[in-house]
Structure 1
């Protein structure tokens, strides 16, 4: 009996859950595809990036990455190389980002 009541309760809850409207802005998958570059600057040529003035994010581009590389040597003389890469991928162009009064 408890199993039957639990099952009915779950069905009612699930049915109610599906009808719940989501608030806020949902980003469609199509707008995040690689082919949709509308609103982003394309890096299709030589772009002068004077250092250090342009150091940091370039929000007008869709994808950007930064490398941190180096070499290490142990006390025994073994050599190791490392690379740490950070990627930034924008979902929408900068001017389409919604602002919020929330501090989060």
Structure 2
């Protein structure tokens, strides 16, 4: 039971996320960092030309984290070899921090 929404189909993603949260008892959140656009996250093996901007990802995961249904979360795909100035590490760290902050 996995739900996948492509980047071009994110126009109504918040409403879809809310409906999804209402239907399930427990949520495991995994964020593949290559969902972010290459200009925000170049430190992945398959950078996204379009992607979903960090601010939109944050708006989508906030209700998940605050739902009381989140059981586990992870971030995957960060590759420090492709992070020339540390900016991508800061993006990943902010995302991880935000999940932990909302998931109390």
TM-score bin, normalised by smaller chain? under 0.3
TM-score calculated relative to the size of structure 2: 0.21
Structure in which a larger fraction of residues adopt strand: 1
TM-score calculated relative to the size of structure 1: 0.21
Q: Between Structure 1 and Structure 2, whose CA radius of gyration is higher? A: 1
